[in-house]
Amino acid sequence: MPSRRQRDGRRASGVCQTSEGTPREPRHPRSVVCIGDSLVRGQVSIDFIDILRGRLSDEGFRFFNHGVNGDLSYNILIRLDTVVARQPEFVIVLVGGNDVNATLSPALRLAYRLWKGLPEEPVIGWYYGNMLQIVKVLKEKTPARIALVSPPVLGEHLTSLPNERIRAYSACLMQIATEQQVTYLPAHERQENYLYKVHGAAGRRHHPNSTLMWTSLFRHYVLRRSFDEIARENGFLLTTEGMHLNGTGAAIVADTIEPFLRAGA
């Protein structure tokens, strides 16, 4: 039986002890960078990264939030240096909702170009090129396992133009993932399946020029209403106002990502 001095020495050296007294090395932290737009940032919707952190922190995962509100694929590409500097073990990329939203009206297209400094028209071919380059940079400059997450629903009317375009942009991601041998995670498809089971295709539509996002943020930050309450008031099941996630929508995204992290641990 080890003496008290031997036991204290083992604790001081940082070596863990099992219940049988066998030395066990401390769990190595696994770094996960999530990069994307406001859905990743989690300020104007339920934060799916917080959900993952709650499930996986005790298993050694450390999450870094690199989300920026309003970002398009181009903006992600030009700020990849911050991800590369971390040399993470996992990178989760979720971007595309704003790329699609910018195609839905001339006013939004102009607004995004001015706000986000876009050098080109935000069309699907440009999105494909940006996402392909993002994957190539991450593969070349980091050791990370990379996952591309399909953008969540844009409104909850599944045959509407916004969701038809989300499906087309998701197909781009699937093609890139196949060609570049990275992982494709079908968050959009899982959300669609959920909505079909609840009400079929005919949920509330996304209106790109609507003020609903701003009134919803007022209700959250000024009137202190939860995102789930606002979603119910607005008639949505997975989003608060057609674009940002409520608790159920965020949980589906987290459920889609979690097995990828566990499988790579």
Dump pLDDT digits (tens) for 162-171.
999 999 999 9
Instruction: Give me the half-sphere count of Cα atoms (radius 13 Å) on the Cβ side of residue 249.
Output: 30
Whole-angstrom distance, CA of residue 80 vs CA of residue 177: 18
* 3-state SS string for 125-138: HHHHHHHHHHHHHH
* Tens-digit pLDDT profile for residues 78-96: 999 999 999 999 999 999 9
Please say whether the beta carbons of 2 and 21 come within 8 A. yes
pLDDT number for residue 202: 86
pLDDT at 183 over 70: yes
Domain ranges of the chain: 29-260
Can you name the CATH fold of 29-260? Answer: Rossmann fold (3.40.50)
* Tens-digit pLDDT profile for residues 2-19: 444 444 444 333 344 444
44 residue type, one letter: V
Mean per-residue pLDDT, 236-249 = 96
pLDDT number for residue 172: 98
Cβ partners under 8 Å of residue 75, min gap 6? 68, 116, 117
Strands 16-17 and 23-24: antiparallel
pLDDT number for residue 14: 39
Helices (H) and strands (E) in the chain, counts: 13, 7
Whole-angstrom distance, CA of residue 92 vs CA of residue 65: 10
* Tens-digit pLDDT profile for residues 215-240: 999 999 999 999 999 999 999 999 99
For the chain, first and last CA: distance in Å? Answer: 35
27 versus 265: the higher-pLDDT residue is 265
Instruction: Give backbone dihedrals phi and psi of 241, rounded to 5 degrees, phi first.
Output: -145, 20
Q: Show the tokens assigned to 1.
A: 């039986």
Length of the chain: 265
Whole-angstrom distance, CA of residue 138 vs CA of residue 117: 23
* Tens-digit pLDDT profile for residues 90-149: 999 999 999 999 999 999 999 999 999 999 999 999 999 999 999 999 999 999 999 999
Q: How much of the chain exceeds pLDDT 70, in percent?
A: 89
Mean per-residue pLDDT, 12-39 = 65
Q: Show the tokens assigned to 51.
A: 């959900």
> Which region holds residue 242: left if phi is over 0, alpha if psi is between -120 and 50, else beta?
left
pLDDT number for residue 43: 92
Q: Show the tokens assigned to 252.
A: 């589906």
pLDDT number for residue 100: 98
118 versus 200: the higher-pLDDT residue is 118
pLDDT number for residue 265: 65
Instruction: Give me the half-sphere count of Cα atoms (radius 13 Å) on the Cβ side of residue 181.
Output: 1
Whole-angstrom distance, CA of residue 137 vs CA of residue 71: 18
